[in-house]
Amino acid sequence: MSSADTRLAQLIEPIQDGLSEMRDVIAANLVDGSPAVADMTEHIGRFRGKQLRGTLTLLVAKAHDVYTDEHPTVAAIVEMIHLATLVHDDVLDGAEVRRRVACVNERWDNQIAVLLGDYLYARAFGLSTTLSSRLASQVLADTTRKLCAGEIDQSTLRYHFEMEQAEYERIAAAKTGTLYAAAASLGAQYPNGDEAAAAEMASFGAEIGLGFQIIDDCLDVVGEEAIVGKSVGNDIEDGKVTLPILRTYQLADEATRAAIRQAYTEPEIQDRRGRLREVCDLGPGTEYALERANALVACAMGRLAPLPSTPAKAALEQVGEFVLERKW
């Protein structure tokens, strides 16, 4: 077990029961009368990853002492929306492996993957309408909308090496930060809690989420599939200019810039990531991106300071460390 694994095991201690309930709710909501659909939902149940978003919902609720019986369901809905985005992301990326399990688009095909993602969104929204408060439905519909808009913006900015860092961050915040923000803010606010606490936790989640995304982008460039547990190099294949690469490009001379653009676009290249790593030194750009992720997480941690000392608060502090040290 890596130190990140150990840390993850520790930080979920205060919410073991809630996480177990959350997983039961997810499992119950992946059952379907159609054998074909049930076969697919059973398959994607095996994508189960870190479940960090649901974990945030539960820990934030505990840390604010507003935890209710419904929080595991709220956390389950957050995770189901995340699962839906993963299934569609894998179509978009042409990815083959997700958490060491074949992606839906590989095991079946893109057609099934699009429909199954839609199905998961519908189940998540449907589940949210069974809760006593409409807050989760409202926050999560709004979040999904922003998340999709962020991905659309990202898609239209493929191969844009002249982008500002702020533009990259705006998009990464929209596509990843928003669901972390919703997860954390719902933890504090559901069913009808403190708006100020919700706003503060939304910022906390947004910073953690953006930090997480930057680390993800670094792993896509410098990680190995066997360790990361999913296909790597997809961003480059897909023309996405992520922070480590954007910074590398900004630091490079004209000849290197041309070689970087070529690694992204020359039709006959088989292994774009391999080519990219040959034509430039990705070290300083990646280092810069990691520092930015560090700064974001530090900022998020500062927002925890006013909370009373509890095991849940201590666990939230560990989330920050986990995001930075994780290798998968």
Binding site residues, a copy of itself, CB under 8 A: 32-34, 36-37, 40, 84, 88, 91-92, 109-112, 114-119, 121-123, 125-126, 128-130, 134, 137-138, 141-142, 144-145, 147-149, 151-153, 155-156
The least CB distance from residue 270 to a copy of itself, in Å, is 21
Query: Read out DSSP for 124-144?
Result: HHHHHTTSSSSHHHHHHHHHH
Q: Which of 101, 81, 80 is nearest to 25 (CA)?
A: 80
* DSSP run (H or E) holding 8: helix 3-11
Give whichever of 5 and 32 is closer to a copy of itself, judged by the CB atom: 32
Q: Tell me the C-alpha distance between 198 and 185, whole Å.
A: 4
The least CB distance from residue 108 to a copy of itself, in Å, is 8
Q: Which of 121, 140, 28, 143 is nearest to 74 (CA)?
A: 140
Backbone phi, psi, residue 101, to 5°: -120, 145
Give whichever of 87 and 319 is closer to a copy of itself, judged by the CB atom: 87
Give whichever of 123 and 273 is closer to a copy of itself, judged by the CB atom: 123
End-to-end CA distance of the chain: 12
Give whichever of 19 and 135 is closer to a copy of itself, judged by the CB atom: 135
The least CB distance from residue 38 to a copy of itself, in Å, is 10
Give whichever of 3 and 111 is closer to a copy of itself, judged by the CB atom: 111
Q: Tell me the C-alpha distance between 209 and 207, whole Å.
A: 5
The least CB distance from residue 136 to a copy of itself, in Å, is 10
Q: Tell me the C-alpha distance between 289 and 287, whole Å.
A: 5
The least CB distance from residue 229 to a copy of itself, in Å, is 23
